Amino acid sequence: MKLGFIGAGNMAQGIIKGLISTNKISSDKIIITASTPSRSQLLAKELGVTSASSNMELVAAVDIVILATKPYLLPEILRAINTPELATNKLFISIAASLTLDSLSAHLPLEQKIIRVMPNMNISIGHSVSAVCGNDYVSKHDIAQVINLFETVGSAYEVSEKDFSNFTSLAGCSPAYTYLYIDAMSRSGVKNGLPKKLATKIAAEAVLGSAKMVLESLDETPWDLIDKVCSPGGTTIAGLVALEEEAFMATVIKGLEATIQRDAELS
């Protein structure tokens, strides 16, 4: 199996590094194109893969094409490679945000196999959470193959396309909200005398441990875990009450709802 990446930005590089480091695919089976041929050659050398001189050359040489450019560039790219020579048995995977399967299909042959994947930025450290869905022409094997590929850089789940906006809010955008929460915690630490770097490390490790606890306690709700931390008349319950006085939970939900709405507008 040969894999081609049209676009070689941070997301694409994260996937490539994950595939190679886990021996999922050998580096000589990966071909990339970037914004210019010289850029393609430079990145290919850095990643230890092969570059193509054009998108047409790349598509002709691979079995799976991963579309990893900015969303606004994709329609023109797809129109350019949509020639009579394009084989419909090639699998196209798009990681472009907000572009639906229908919008991608409009620029490719009628029966082209297309799978849409939504990773998040934690892909660069091998901890992405990715959503996967396909059009009517992909098989269960195709979906399983793509999930297997993206599990090299985190976790991946088959999700109905109608739920992609919801997924985007929960996994695609939430890293930024989590960073904000960690930074707020660390600034509280600074306010009360800790160095910023140490406060940030402590806050991040506390959040990481709490996330692991949730994953290892799925027979309980996060609220059950909250109750276990809160001693009667203690410090934790005092902090929770203060947060809820400012509608902490409602504010988080409001932020996620705004993400869903904006993603729907862009789609």
Any known ligand binding at 55?
Answer: yes
Provide the whole-model pTM. 0.87
Any known ligand binding at 48?
Answer: no
| 103 closest CA partner among 70, 67, 75, 142 | 75
Any known ligand binding at 71?
Answer: yes
Any known ligand binding at 18?
Answer: no
Any known ligand binding at 122?
Answer: no
pLDDT at 213: 98
Any known ligand binding at 69?
Answer: yes
pLDDT at 245: 97
Any known ligand binding at 140?
Answer: no
In CATH, what is the architecture of 172-266?
Orthogonal Bundle (1.10)
Any known ligand binding at 7?
Answer: yes
Any known ligand binding at 168?
Answer: no
Q: What is the chain's pLDDT, residue by residue, as a tens digit (267 residues)?
A: 999 999 999 999 999 998 998 888 999 999 999 999 999 999 999 999 999 999 999 999 999 999 999 999 999 999 999 988 787 789 999 999 889 999 999 999 989 999 999 999 898 888 999 999 999 999 999 999 999 999 999 999 999 999 999 999 999 999 999 999 999 999 999 999 999 999 999 999 999 999 999 999 999 999 999 999 999 999 999 999 999 999 999 999 999 999 999 988 887
Domain boundaries in the chain?
Answer: 3-164, 172-266
Any known ligand binding at 10?
Answer: yes
- Answer whether CATH 3.30.365.10 is correct for domain 3-164: no
